[in-house]
Amino acid sequence: MPDALFAEEFPQAGGLIYLNHAAVAPWPLRTAEAVRAFAAENTRSGAQHYPRWLAREARLREQLRELVNATSVDDIALTKNTSEAISLVAEGIDWQAGDNIVTTTEEFPSNRIPWQAQTQRGVALREVRIEQPGPEQALIDACDRATRLLTISSVQYGSGARLDLELLGAHCRKRGILFCVDAIQSLGAIACDVQASGADFVMADGHKWLLGPEGLALFYSRPEARDRLRLHQFGWHMVEAAGNFDQRDWRIAHSAQRFECGSPNMLGIHALSASLSLLQEIGMVEISRRVLERSTYLYERLTAVPGIRFLTPGEERRRAGIINFSIADCDPARLHRGLLDRNVICAHRGGGVRLSPHFYTSLQELDRAVACVSELIDARKSR
- What mean pLDDT do residues 326-352 have? 96
- What mean pLDDT do residues 339-359 have? 98
Could you give the count of Cα atoms lying within 13 Å of 268 in the half-sphere of its Cβ? 18
- What mean pLDDT do residues 176-196 have? 99
Query: CA-to-CA distance for 26 and 366, rounded, in angstroms?
Result: 17
N- to C-terminal Cα separation, the chain: 46
Give tens-digit pLDDT for 11-33: 987 889 999 999 999 999 999 99
- What mean pLDDT do residues 147-162 have? 98
Strand partners, 149: 101, 178
Reported residue count of the chain is 383
Give tens-digit pLDDT for 322-331: 999 999 989 9
* Window from 130-134, 276-280, 364-368 with minimum mean pLDDT: 130-134
CATH for the 31-281 domain, from 3.40.50.11540, 2.40.160.40, 3.30.499.10, 3.40.640.10: 3.40.640.10
pLDDT for the residue 383: 60
Query: CA-to-CA distance for 155 and 24, rounded, in angstroms?
Result: 16
pLDDT at residue 208 tops 90:
yes
Could you give the count of Cα atoms lying within 13 Å of 378 in the half-sphere of its Cβ? 7
For strands 347-349 and 352-355, give the pairing.
Answer: antiparallel
Nearest alpha-carbon partner for 225 in 157, 173, 290 = 173
Query: CA-to-CA distance for 202 and 196, rounded, in angstroms?
Result: 13
Strand partners, 128: 104
Give tens-digit pLDDT for 28-52: 999 999 999 999 999 999 999 999 9
Query: CA-to-CA distance for 181 and 202, rounded, in angstroms?
Result: 5
Give tens-digit pLDDT for 117-150: 999 999 999 999 998 678 999 999 999 999 999 9
pLDDT for the residue 117: 98
* Same fold yes or no, 3-19+284-381 and 31-281: no
- Residues with Cβ within 8 Å of residue 85, at least 6 apart in sequence: 77, 79, 201, 203, 217, 218, 219, 259
Confidence (pTM) = 0.96
pLDDT for the residue 205: 98
> Which H or E run contains 310?
strand 308-310
Nearest alpha-carbon partner for 183 in 215, 141, 148, 218 = 218
Contact 70, 194 (CB under 8 A): yes
Query: CA-to-CA distance for 155 and 165, rounded, in angstroms?
Result: 10
pLDDT for the residue 35: 98
Give tens-digit pLDDT for 302-324: 999 999 999 999 999 999 999 99
pLDDT for the residue 382: 61
> Which H or E run contains 79?
strand 76-79
pLDDT for the residue 379: 80
Mean pLDDT across the chain, nearest whole number? 96
Count other C-beta atoms under 10 Å from residue 357's C-beta. 29
Superfamily name and number for 3-19+284-381: Aspartate Aminotransferase, domain 1 (3.90.1150.10)
pLDDT at residue 108 tops 90:
yes
Contact 358, 25 (CB under 8 A): yes
Query: CA-to-CA distance for 359 and 362, rounded, in angstroms?
Result: 8
In the chain, where the domains are located = 3-19+284-381, 31-281
Give tens-digit pLDDT for 222-265: 999 999 999 999 999 999 999 899 999 999 999 999 999 999 99
pLDDT for the residue 85: 99
Nearest alpha-carbon partner for 155 in 353, 324, 383, 348 = 324
